[in-house]
Amino acid sequence: MPPWLSGEGPDADVVVSSRVRLARNLAQHRFPGRASMFERAEVFQEVSAAFRETPQCSSFNPVSFSKLDKNEQRFLVEERLAGAGLENAEGERGIILDETRRVSVMVNGEDHLKLQILDAGLRPQELWGVVDAIDDAVGMRLTYAFDGRSGFLTCRPADAGTGLRASFLVHLPGLTLARSVDTVLRGAAQMGVSARGFLGEHSPVAGDLYALSNASAMGSTENAILDNTATVARHIAGVERKARQRLLEEAHLRLIDRIQRAWGVLCHARLLGVNEFLALASDLRLGIECNLFDKCTRSELNRLTLFMLPGHLRAYYKKTMDDEECRAARADLVRAFFKRKKTGKRTHENG
């Protein structure tokens, strides 16, 4: 399981994970969207060589998407080690991955490089320290596209300047049930922090999971951007906890009923879509955090959630499946999981 899904870390009851990412481009090459196939291959080789020759990055290994099938690519995207843009891009592209699967570098996606680190809980400064050190070390071997007025040049104007994107994946079921989540997120937007679905850019919100990130990477220092985004995330986490406490005090029985109904559906469903599972799992996650559900731990639910995604589901069953077969296999796997939790034994309902 990727480290960011461990269920541990500061403020992990609300903040599932933190991500710090830097966008960079090479001065001597055109942006990936305008580069030729030959130029893309050159960039991939140059970036791979730079990491290979940097002593601090001896544990990094390149993974070429051109050598992976579609489901293997989807698997890496679902683990958030690669962006969805890499799946749809052409020519040589991929990731450079460290052995801990905590740090990955996307090559030839929107930009030549997107260096990122992911971990569980709210830990912005720790992650920034790691990414900043790697960027400095590798930057000694690469010439980045940089302008004295605009800063680092990127494909998207919102990423230009520092190239920094700090993102925090938060679970907000209390605010959703209180019907105040939109108001809270509008307040965050006024503070320069945007919200989106956790499955990538322009993805719908599912399972009450929101990715909070700075809307702009220009006009402030890296530390100022990081501190502002983390401060907003901490504030929202505090508001979410208050919403959960009000639910416990004012709607205790209805909350228990909601959690138990979700568990009942998951234990007996024969077909499950991804969004349906995420919605039901959100209720179970809320139950775990409010000490109202003890059939699994936060970490176990995170693992189960990851394997409900199509790429992981197909990898688990080791076969190609259409959407309907995925819905049936997803329900089978969930039932087997909770049956095993009941009996304490490993089971597999699908052979």
Domain positions in the chain are: 3-243, 252-343
3-state secondary structure of 297: coil
**Model confidence over 138-161: pLDDT tens digits?**
999 999 999 988 899 999 888 999
**For residue 316, what is the enclosing H or E element?**
helix 310-317
The CA distance from 182 to 188, in Å, is 10
Token match 């209720």: residue?
283
The CA distance from 248 to 174, in Å, is 10
* Type of residue found at 90: E
**Model confidence over 321-339: pLDDT tens digits?**
999 999 999 999 999 999 8
Return the closest-CA partner of residue 322 out of 45, 33, 42, 71.
71
CATH number of 3-243: 3.30.590.10
| pTM for this prediction | 0.93
Q: What is residue 347's predicted lDDT score, i.e. its pLDDT?
A: 38
3-state secondary structure of 34: helix
Is residue 223 over pLDDT 60?
yes
Return the closest-CA partner of residue 103 out of 124, 120, 119.
119
257 DSSP 8-state letter: H
- Are 149 and 58 in contact, with CB atoms under 8 Å apart? no
Q: What is residue 350's predicted lDDT score, i.e. its pLDDT?
A: 40
Could you tell me the end-to-end alpha-carbon distance of the chain, in angstroms, rounded to an integer? 23
